């Protein structure tokens, strides 16, 4: 019970001390506040002075990098095979990802710092981390780093820049290698499809004997050429038939009769008999005009004429196998009317007619054979075309993949955009004043807070008394 009663008394004592303070007179209390503030301010600025004078000089090197905003592209078109595209979009195309943030993380990563420290032959802790600023709506990155000397700061800056570029190149090579390995895995499948389709085409060609679609087209063209030739031959045949009919009308002979007459004409013995018969006939006509039918000379001449006719008949039977008096006398001995030439033309026309007829029949047979072959090749040609189309598609995919792999090698900035050095690391002429400025700002803020605190402590009594009275 005694302990419980003592606690409120202590609390009341603390409250009175906090509200009423000391019992010093106002003048003495003012002196106390002034002395306390002066000592505190002296202590603060003494610390600021020691910080400014004792802190080592730091030199700062600055450099700026920029990321190009336009992507590059490349297109490779292979005639009748395929096409390959390779493009690098703008690194700022996606609003969700800023590549500068990625590069900021890479620039301050342990790998870059370790590479830079190794190139300078110092420890990573001695190198320090660079400071970065990323202005909005730009592709610019401002870097800065400090060192005890101006040359040291510049060397650190160059080391960090080269280390960043080396890391980016390593990442690009690794990305390109992984992408190439992925494409190679797909290429193996594409190559097997190309080989399988090619083997299927060769097997089908060996089976049906149709090498290519051009061969099928050649079949159709061959049939058309044969039909065209047949039309020309038929036209020529009709012309020869018309000539044959005209000559036959002039001679009143059939081709066979003309041939028989020419056979007789070409026989020397028959020609001699024909000449004698012609002379005898001429003499008989002359004698008959002067003498009567019973005159001895007329009878003798008739007898001679009959004898010659019998000899001609016998010779005709020997040459032709038959004798026709009207046919034997169709050809005169001197051939003044050129009947022999007409007969020769009739025979040559007839012979040519037979030749053209046989040629047309042969063409008809060939056309039928080629047409049958073309008809049976329709399905084979369609299947061969499908096989060629499948092979062409497989080849296009395979070739496009190869081209894409080769074109992709030339575009190394697709995953990690190009970064360019806008301004080289600077060589500081004067040490950085940032530490002095910060120390002075800290002293000013501390002095302001001290004065503010003393002022609040000076005027606390009226305010706190009002609060206590209200409570």
194 and 331 together in one domain: no
Residues spanned by the domain of 314: 218-376
Does this model's pTM top 0.75?
Answer: no
195 domain residue, yes or no: yes
Q: Is the pLDDT of residue 6 over 90?
A: no
pLDDT score of 164 = 92
The secondary structure of residue 92, as a DSSP letter, is T
27 and 146 together in one domain: no
* Position 5 confidence tier, pLDDT thresholds 50, 70, 90: very low
72 and 156 together in one domain: yes
Given a contact cutoff of 8 angstroms between Cβ atoms, the answer to whether 388 and 211 are in contact is: no
From the CA atom positions of the chain, what is the Rg in Å? 64
95 and 158 together in one domain: yes
Range from 115-119, 150-154, 384-388 carrying the lowest mean pLDDT: 384-388
Q: Is the pLDDT of residue 163 over 70?
A: yes
106 and 159 together in one domain: yes
229 and 357 together in one domain: yes
Question: Is the C-alpha dihedral spanning 279, 285, 291, 296 positive or negative?
Answer: positive
Q: Alpha-carbon distance 113 to 130, whole Å? A: 9
pLDDT score of 204 = 64
Beta bridge partners of residue 73, listed in sequence order: 87
Q: Tokens representing 409?
A: 């090698």
**411 against 369, higher pLDDT:** 369
Report pLDDT digits (tens) over 243-269. Answer: 777 877 776 677 777 777 777 777 778
166 domain residue, yes or no: yes
16 and 93 together in one domain: no
| Phi, psi at 438, each rounded to 5° | -65, -40
6 and 136 together in one domain: no
Q: Alpha-carbon distance 180 to 406, whole Å? A: 9
Report pLDDT digits (tens) over 318-366. Answer: 777 777 766 666 665 555 456 677 777 777 888 888 888 888 888 888 8
213 domain residue, yes or no: no
Burial level of 154, CB count in 10 A (0-12/13-18/19+)?
buried
Q: Alpha-carbon distance 412 to 165, whole Å? A: 13
85 and 128 together in one domain: yes
Q: Alpha-carbon distance 108 to 164, whole Å? A: 9
pLDDT score of 336 = 47
Q: Tokens 């590549």 belong to which residue?
A: 99
Number of domains in the chain: 3
Q: Tokens representing 169?
A: 């190149």
Burial level of 322, CB count in 10 A (0-12/13-18/19+)?
exposed
253 and 371 together in one domain: yes
405 domain residue, yes or no: no
Mean pLDDT, the chain, integer: 76
311 and 459 together in one domain: no
- For 289, 296, 297, 306, 352, the CA distances from 292, given in Å and listed in that order, are 8, 9, 9, 18, 53
By percentage, how much of the chain surpasses pLDDT 70?
Answer: 73
Mean pLDDT of 205-219: 62
209 domain residue, yes or no: no
CATH of the domain at 259: 1.10.287
Given a contact cutoff of 8 angstroms between Cβ atoms, the answer to whether 228 and 234 are in contact is: no
257 domain residue, yes or no: yes
300 domain residue, yes or no: yes
pLDDT score of 71 = 53
pLDDT score of 1 = 46
79 and 144 together in one domain: yes
pLDDT score of 295 = 78
Q: Alpha-carbon distance 62 to 428, whole Å? A: 9
| Phi, psi at 424, each rounded to 5° | -70, 160
pLDDT score of 211 = 52
Report pLDDT digits (tens) over 414-439. Answer: 778 888 898 999 888 777 667 677 87
pLDDT score of 379 = 65
Q: Tokens 């009748």 belong to which residue?
A: 80
Q: Is the pLDDT of residue 2 over 50?
A: no
* Position 4 confidence tier, pLDDT thresholds 50, 70, 90: very low
Report pLDDT digits (tens) over 28-83. Answer: 777 887 888 888 889 888 888 887 776 667 788 999 999 876 555 555 555 555 55
Mean pLDDT of 81-107: 66
Q: Is the pLDDT of residue 239 over 60?
A: yes
Range from 2-6, 225-229, 414-418 carrying the lowest mean pLDDT: 2-6
pLDDT score of 355 = 85
What beta strand segments (E) does 98-171 contain?
131-133, 140-147
411 domain residue, yes or no: no
């Amino acid at each position: 019970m005694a302990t419980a009663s003592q606690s409120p008394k202590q609390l009341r004592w603390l409250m009175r001390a906090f509200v009423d303070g000391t019992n010093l007179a106002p003048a003495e209390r003012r002196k106390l506040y002034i002395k306390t503030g002066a000592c505190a301010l002296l202590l603060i600025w003494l610390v600021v002075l020691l910080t400014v004078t004792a802190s080592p000089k730091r030199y700062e090197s600055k450099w700026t990098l920029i990321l190009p905003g336009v992507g590059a592209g490349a297109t490779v078109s292979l005639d009748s095979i395929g096409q390959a595209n390779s493009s690098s979009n703008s690194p700022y195309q996606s609003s969700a990802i800023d590549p500068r943030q990625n590069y900021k993380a890479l620039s301050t990563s342990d790998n870059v710092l370790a590479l830079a420290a190794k190139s300078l032959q110092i420890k990573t802790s001695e190198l320090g981390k660079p400071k970065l600023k990323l202005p909005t709506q730009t592709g610019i990155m401002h870097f800065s780093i400090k060192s005890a000397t101006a040359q040291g700061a510049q060397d650190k800056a160059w080391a960090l820049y080269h280390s960043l570029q080396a890391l980016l190149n390593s990442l690009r090579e690794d990305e390109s290698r992984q992408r190439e390995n992925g494409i190679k895995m797909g290429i193996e499948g594409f190559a097997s499809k190309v080989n399988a389709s090619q083997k299927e085409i060769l097997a089908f060609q060996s089976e049906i004997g149709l090498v290519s679609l051009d061969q099928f087209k050649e079949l159709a063209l061959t049939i058309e050429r044969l039909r065209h030739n047949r039309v020309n031959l038929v036209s020529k045949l009709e012309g020869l038939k018309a000539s044959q009919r005209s000559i036959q009308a002039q001679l009143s002979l059939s081709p066979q009769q003309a041939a028989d007459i020419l056979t007789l004409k070409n026989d020397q013995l028959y020609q001699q008999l024909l000449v004698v018969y012609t002379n005898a006939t001429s003499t008989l006509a002359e004698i008959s005009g002067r003498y009567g039918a019973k005159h001895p000379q007329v009878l003798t001449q008739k007898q001679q004429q009959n004898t010659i006719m019998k000899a001609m008949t016998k010779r005709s039977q020997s040459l032709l196998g038959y004798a026709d008096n009207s046919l034997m006398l169709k050809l005169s001995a001197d051939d003044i009317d050129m009947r022999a030439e007409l007969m020769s033309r009739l025979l040559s026309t007839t012979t040519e007619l037979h030749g053209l007829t046989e040629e047309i029949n042969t063409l008809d047979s060939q056309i039928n054979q080629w047409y049958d072959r073309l008809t049976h090749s329709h399905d084979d040609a369609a299947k061969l075309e499908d096989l060629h189309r499948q092979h062409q598609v497989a080849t296009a995919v395979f070739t496009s993949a190869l081209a894409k792999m080769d074109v992709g090698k030339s575009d190394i900035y697709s995953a990690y955009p190009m970064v360019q050095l806008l301004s080289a690391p600077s060589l500081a002429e004067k040490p950085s004043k940032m530490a002095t400025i910060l120390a002075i700002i800290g002293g000013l803020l501390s002095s302001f807070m001290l004065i503010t605190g003393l002022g609040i402590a000076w005027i606390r009594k009226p305010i706190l008394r009002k609060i206590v009275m209200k409570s």
